[in-house]
Structure formats: C-alpha cells, structure tokens
C-alpha cells in the first residue's frame, strides 16, 4: 500500500488549501447570510484549475485522477463546503456520456468555471425511491418533448443539468434516459431558490418541464439506460460528499484546537479538562478513518475495482460523523460557537443537509445489505 501523494497531487492540494484559506474562508459566512453566489470568485477558482480537474487535457482540463479531485474538494470545503460542490469531478463524468459535439462545447467551459452542471433526478413523489421517475420525454423528430417536475435540484443557477426522464414503457429503473438539459430550453421553468436551513450560497430549487423541447442530440449515452448511468455517477459522488463534509469538520476541529489552548476557565486552559480534550482526540480519530474510507473509494474507482458497497459506507457514515464533530466543536466554543459570530453553526447546517442529499443513511444501508446478503434477501 502506498499512502504517499505525488508531487502534482501535493501541488494541487496546496493550491486548493491556499485558495480556500485566502478567498473562501473569510467570506463564507457572508455568502450564507445573504444567499449570495460569488460568481466572479468561482470563475477565479476555474482559472486556478480547481474546477473540473478531471476534465481531460484535450478538453481543456488537467486530466487528473479522482483521488486528486477528492484532495481538491476536501481542501476547498475547508473554506466553504458549498462552493466545493462545483469542483466535483462527477460533473465531467456525466458529461463524458454526451456526444462529442456537446463535450467539445461544454467540457472546456466546465473546466474553467464558465459553465456549471447539476443533477435533476428527485421528483415530488420520488426521492429515496429514485427509480420511480414520472417525468416523461417523448421523441418527436429532432426533439424530445418533456413534462414533469424535478423538485430538489442543487446548483439551481447552473447552465445545465443531467436530467432523468422516462422514455420507455417499463416501470422502475428500466426505460429511464439521461439528458443534458440546457438552462435556456424552451418550456423549462426554473423556480426561485428554496429557503433551506443550509447550503445557502449555492441555490437549490425546482425545475418544471412543460412540453420542454430538448434536442434529441442532448440524449446522454443510450436511450433507456439513464438510471444505471446516474447510479454509477453516485458511486463516485458519494465519496466526494464525504470529503466535502470532512473538509468542513477538519477546519472546525483545527479552529477548536486553537481555541481550547487559549480559552481559560477556573484559571487554566479548558484543554486541561479531559471532557474537552477527549472529544478533540475522538474527532481526529473519526476524521482519519473517514478520510481513509473516502480516498479508498476514489482509488478503487480510479483502478476500475468495484466500490458500490464502500461508497455507500462513505455516504451514510461520514456526513453523520462530521455533523457530530462540528456539533462537539460548537459546544466546546460555548456561546461563541452557538452565535453567528463564528462559522460553526453554519457548517453544522450545511453539512447536515448531506445526511439527506444523494440518498439517506437508510438507503445506503440497504445498498450495503443488498451487496452483502443479496437483493432477494433484503427489502
């Protein structure tokens, strides 16, 4: 086993760390408070090569592996987990299924932060039951006419989304196709952002399709195979979600370590109490374990090994443990931690959302149980 990073990985990790500390951390609270998306700064992230790192060089990216992408996401999340979402390599991974023409048009812009992509899967009646897609897309010559509602779309300000719609007659996972849905599609209505408790710098909301005219050339991959593509994308995404949560928790822990050395009670630093120092030691242990699990998944994917079970472990356990770590950090800061003067309460709200987004803990445990025991023996 080799836990060493390459020089290139270290370079990008440091670059992302510097960017996060200098450009994101000082402003994250303001973006949260105002629900503000810092468009120019995101472009700067792109220019620095921190977005779309996995986009191949021939399409204008750095062509990194997924482990490197994970390092970047983790570091950016220390500054602001919300914006680190835009650096997910999964955005390109989905685009790689598109036609050569679409890839040539989109990939260089995705790599530079000039365009973003999101995922539009969830519908009012189908979240956990993700294959129960009711949005329909009917082929009419050169276009698909799409009708339905996607009601929980992160990156609502994206330029496009990979959108799942039923094209076949079957129910369940078969008969669902994946499309690149452009923001300017006629018949697409974009809602105003939802007022979620966290994740406020990057808007989330609904897309309504009313006879939306999607060019047939925007079909991604094969017709009726879309559900399998999106599930495969989630296998990568779930490890990145873990690393994003770890970034926020790691930053909180480092701030807490500083705080406990300086804050005095009963005439001595609060760190001299084991009730304070042990949660710090436990948090470090959990972060180390969580990090190893997430990077193992990325390594497995980079090396074409199966990783569905391991990535589901990342998704159910890592956000949960990161919420708990940030919670402990907040408590150790006393009232200062509970107030909006410090970023801890925001991080708690932001990370909590990822116990739900991309599949809840219950659904991940179902995936693990099915892999272990067999689909026919598990509900």
Ligand X SMILES: Cc1cc2nc3c(=O)[nH]c(=O)nc-3n(C[C@H](O)[C@H](O)[C@H](O)COP(=O)(O)OP(=O)(O)OC[C@H]3O[C@@H](n4cnc5c(N)ncnc54)[C@H](O)[C@@H]3O)c2cc1C
In the complex, the residues that contact ligand X under the rule CB under 6 A are: 118-122, 127-128, 152-154, 199, 353-354, 356-360, 362-363
CB of 160 to ligand X, least distance (A): 13
Cβ proximity to ligand X: between 152 and 176 the closer is: 152
Cβ proximity to ligand X: between 72 and 130 the closer is: 130
Cβ proximity to ligand X: between 196 and 282 the closer is: 196
CB of 195 to ligand X, least distance (A): 13
Q: Mention every residue, 6+ apart, whose C-beta is less than 8 A from residue 258.
A: none
CB of 282 to ligand X, least distance (A): 26
Cβ proximity to ligand X: between 68 and 177 the closer is: 177
Backbone angles phi, psi at 297, to 5 degrees: -60, -45
CB of 225 to ligand X, least distance (A): 18
CB of 363 to ligand X, least distance (A): 6
Cβ proximity to ligand X: between 310 and 358 the closer is: 358
DSSP bridge pairs for 150: 207
How do beta strands 160-166 and 117-120 pair? Answer: parallel
Residue 374 is encoded by which pair of tokens? 């067999």
CB of 349 to ligand X, least distance (A): 10
CB of 169 to ligand X, least distance (A): 23
Cβ proximity to ligand X: between 257 and 356 the closer is: 356
Residue number of the CB closest to ligand X reads 127
Cβ proximity to ligand X: between 235 and 255 the closer is: 235
């Amino acid at each position: 086993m080799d836990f060493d990073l390459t020089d290139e990985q270290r370079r990008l990790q440091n670059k992302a760390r510097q960017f996060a500390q200098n450009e994101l951390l000082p402003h994250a609270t303001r973006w949260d408070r105002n629900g503000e998306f810092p468009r120019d700064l995101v472009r700067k992230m792109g220019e620095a090569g921190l977005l779309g790192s996995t986009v191949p060089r021939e399409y204008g990216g750095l062509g990194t592996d997924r482990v490197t992408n994970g390092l970047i996401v983790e570091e950016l999340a220390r500054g602001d987990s919300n914006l680190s979402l835009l650096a997910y390599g999964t955005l390109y991974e989905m685009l790689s299924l598109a036609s050569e023409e679409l890839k040539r048009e989109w990939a260089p812009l995705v790599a530079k932060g000039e365009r973003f992509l999101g995922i539009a899967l969830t519908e009012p009646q189908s979240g956990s039951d993700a294959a129960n897609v009711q949005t329909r897309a009917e082929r009419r010559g050169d276009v698909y006419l799409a009708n339905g509602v996607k009601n929980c779309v992160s990156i609502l300000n994206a330029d496009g989304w990979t959108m799942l719609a039923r094209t076949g007659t079957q129910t369940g996972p078969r008969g669902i196709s994946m499309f690149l849905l452009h923001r300017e599609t006629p018949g697409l209505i974009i809602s105003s952002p939802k007022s979620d408790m966290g994740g406020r710098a990057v808007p989330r909301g609904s897309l309504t399709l009313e006879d939306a005219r999607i060019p047939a050339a925007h079909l991604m991959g094969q017709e009726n195979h879309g559900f399998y593509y999106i599930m495969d994308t989630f296998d990568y995404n779930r490890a990145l979600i873990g690393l994003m949560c770890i970034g926020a928790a790691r930053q909180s822990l480092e701030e807490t370590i500083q705080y406990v050395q300086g804050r005095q009670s009963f005439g001595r630093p609060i760190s001299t109490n084991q009730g304070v120092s042990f949660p710090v030691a436990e948090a470090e242990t959990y972060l180390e374990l969580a990090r190893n699990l997430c990077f193992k998944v990325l390594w497995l994917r980079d090396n074409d090994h199966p990783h569905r079970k391991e990535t589901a472990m990342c998704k159910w356990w890592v956000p949960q443990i990161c919420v708990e770590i940030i919670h402990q950090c907040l408590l150790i800061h006393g009232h200062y931690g509970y107030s909006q003067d410090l970023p801890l309460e925001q991080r708690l709200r932001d990370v909590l959302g990822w116990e739900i987004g991309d599949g809840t803990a219950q659904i991940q445990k179902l995936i693990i149980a099915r892999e272990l025991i067999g689909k026919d023996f598990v509900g």
